[in-house]
Chain A
Amino acid sequence: MSAIMEAVRLVKRYPTGGGMLHAVDEVDLAIQPGESVGLVGESGCGKSTLVRLLGRLIEPTDGAIVFEGQDIAPVPLRRFVHDTARGRIQVVFQDPTESLNPTLTVFETVADPIRRLGTAGDRNALAAQVRKAIALVGLPPEMETRLPHQLSGGQRARVGIARAIALRPSLLILDEPTSALDVSVQAVILRLLADLRSELGMSYLFVSHDLNVVRLLCSRIVVMYLGKVVEEGPTEALFRDPRHPYTRALLASIPNPARRGQTPWRLEGSASSPIDPSPTVCRFYGRCPRQEDACAKTMPALRAVGSDGVHRAACHFAEETSA
């Protein structure tokens, strides 16, 4: 099975006054058809930049983005907005309130990408396509004339999803889609997303800071730290047996009533500077509880741990399982 989306040594650097900021640094990532991949990491680790690169919202500095067999990285942004691939990769943004045009009705919001990228059809065909998308996300038809401010948070989230699936993308990138919602609404939206994926056969790249949410929705998890992928693997393997110390810290930080009164090892301080980081020092050096001389001499590569070959970690001591 060939991947629907594959990033190959993908790089994004930004020039700053003090040097080059390495936002995404030689990231390899493959998403299989129908797969749901979770992307986690702290703010500033480059996950949003990676999402924008894969969605072709910004230009990569280097590397390839192979989508449905075609390298879309060299296509200039100006041309990509009219590319057929544009409609096949869609993004659902973080805050539905901020990412909807306040002057467009629900109908117009959902119709917009179809008009720009869809197959030219007459008005009736367009309306039918819009209504199908609105129905798919469970919004009642009478909502189509509403403006964003007349909708609840959950309804806005649904509109953002309807807009993204209107063109029947094969890859849906979800950037913290439920972080602005109350748990009662979040549960509904998460189940909707799970249903839509099986119904429409989409692949998901799901960015979230909530590991419990990722665990429920994704079969595989990719952990980023300071521009690098530090660990990836099947969800349950990663939760059961994390191999990178950063992943361990992440998992230990999930609020858990069963741990009341305990203080497990905590990740203190903040990440080192992403500006011109040393190519020979592990990015986690300085914050890692384990750090040894080797960590300051060679940057650990992402390599298979365990026998399955799909669980990979970038740590010199990844073979040592957690206690």
Chain B
Amino acid sequence: MSAAAMTDSVPLLTVDDLVLDFRTRSGTVHVLDGISLTLERGEILGIVGESGSGKSVLAYAMMGLLDPAARVPRGGIRFAGRNMLTESERALAETRGREIAMIFQSPRTALNPIRRVGTQVQDVLLRHANVSKKEARTRAIEALARVRIPDPERRFDAYPFELSGGLCQRVMIAMAMACNPYLLIADEPTTGLDVTTQAVVMDLIRDQVRSANASVVLITHDLALAGEYCDRIAVIHAGHIVEIGSTEAMLDSPKHPYTARLIGATPGGHESIDDLASIPGSLPDLRRDLPPCRFIDRCDRKLDRCAVDPLPAVAIGADHLVRCWNPL
């Protein structure tokens, strides 16, 4: 346990001006550009964006998981006092699972199909918690009980295929929370689940991390879901965080045209289908030379300077930042 994680004055996680490229055969893909954000202890941060916006790459980078093709020409990620991009693989392996844990989109694929689910929770404890096998089993069953899996002692011996998608995701949460991590990264944790199961799983994630005073980065494409469960929301578009702020500020008075459009395009609260706004265009090709603002081709508020001047960071309030020359 590092000292930084214990104090409240230093953010748990800091991403500072992160630039991340992928080198591919068809050229360099500018996946993330100038990403800066902080995450406090106990906070739930939502990262919301369309597919291809870079939100999952960012989540993986926070765990120090980089694709072999990835390059980081600038910026860094600090978690609990360590630099996640330069740390040795061995040190990272210690951090992951113990201090940062992740839950993935499709729990059935993320779990090992030929091992019993209880054993998989137990593995995490044996690897990280320095406990005996017997103790690990007891704690694994406790972990399964905490995520309210009915009859945890019997379910310990179940294989993933014997459990529903919702139960598999609970096992994933039990695994992730087994060692009381400081940070939980949840990458679209409820995609593919029924809306009723989604609600149960999201309640569970929120309640688990709240009681452990852990933090969450929730990656999602669903602004309404982020709105219900997150303290703060960052909207990401084509590798830029275009706006970040408290959930209330983001939803009640969005400042970036893209955030406003996303809200307008998300069904819910609209009187008629005619009120549902669309977002023109699509994400730009990230292999091209891009203008400073990557939203420019989809924007109806663009100014001449948007194509020339580097993106500004305009502070709206104490905790609300928009990267736009002509905010709403």
Interface residues on A, range: 35 or more
Contact pick for B194, options A43, A188, A191, A259, CB 8 Å: A43
Min distance, Cβ A195 to any Cβ of chain B, angstroms: 9
Q: Is residue B222 within 8 Å, beta carbon to beta carbon, of the partner chain?
A: yes
Q: Which residues of A contact B273 (CB under 8 A)?
A: 190-191, 194, 216-217
Query: Are the CB atoms of A253 and B228 closer together than 8 Å?
Result: no
Query: Are the CB atoms of A191 and B229 closer together than 8 Å?
Result: no
Q: Is residue B200 within 8 Å, beta carbon to beta carbon, of the partner chain?
A: yes
Q: Is residue B282 within 8 Å, beta carbon to beta carbon, of the partner chain?
A: yes
Q: Cα distance A194–B278 when bound, in Å? A: 14
Q: Which residues of A contact B148 (CB under 8 A)?
A: 268
Minimal Cβ-Cβ distance residue in B for A257: B227
Q: Cα distance A190–B268 when bound, in Å? A: 13
Q: Which residues of A contact B222 (CB under 8 A)?
A: 183, 255
Contact pick for B196, options A152, A215, A266, CB 8 Å: A266
Q: Cα distance A211–B262 when bound, in Å? A: 18
Give residues of chain A (248-279) contacting chain B, Cβ–Cβ below 8 Å.
Answer: 249-250, 252-257, 259-260, 263, 266-270
Q: Is residue B270 within 8 Å, beta carbon to beta carbon, of the partner chain?
A: yes
Interface residues on B, range: 35 or more
Minimal Cβ-Cβ distance residue in A for B258: A184
Q: Is residue A187 within 8 Å, beta carbon to beta carbon, of the partner chain?
A: yes
Query: Are the CB atoms of B51 and A216 closer together than 8 Å?
Result: no
Give residues of chain B (82-110) contacting chain A, Cβ–Cβ below 8 Å.
Answer: none
Query: Are the CB atoms of B265 and A183 closer together than 8 Å?
Result: yes
Contact pick for B199, options A211, A257, A260, A266, CB 8 Å: A266
Min distance, Cβ A52 to any Cβ of chain B, angstroms: 20
Minimal Cβ-Cβ distance residue in A for B220: A255
Q: Which residues of A contact B274 (CB under 8 A)?
A: 191
Q: Is residue B66 within 8 Å, beta carbon to beta carbon, of the partner chain?
A: no
Q: Cα distance A39–B278 when bound, in Å? A: 24
Q: Is residue B277 within 8 Å, beta carbon to beta carbon, of the partner chain?
A: yes
Q: Which residues of B contact A212 (CB under 8 A)?
A: 224, 266-268
Knowing that A154-B282, A212-B266, A216-B267 touch, tell me 7 more A-B residue pairs with CB under 8 angstroms.
Answer: A42-B195, A216-B276, A252-B199, A254-B224, A256-B227, A256-B228, A266-B196
21 A-B pairs within 8 Å (CB atoms) are namely A42-B195, A154-B282, A183-B50, A183-B223, A184-B265, A184-B279, A186-B267, A187-B278, A187-B279, A194-B273, A210-B195, A211-B195, A213-B267, A215-B267, A253-B196, A254-B268, A255-B222, A255-B227, A256-B224, A256-B228, A260-B228
Instruction: Give the top 10 A-B pairs by smallest Cβ distance, nearest first.
Output: A257-B227, A184-B279, A212-B267, A253-B199, A255-B224, A255-B225, A42-B194, A187-B265, A187-B278, A212-B268
Q: Contact residues of A with B, CB < 8 Å?
A: 42-43, 152, 154, 182-188, 190-191, 194, 209-213, 215-217, 249-250, 252-257, 259-260, 263, 266-270
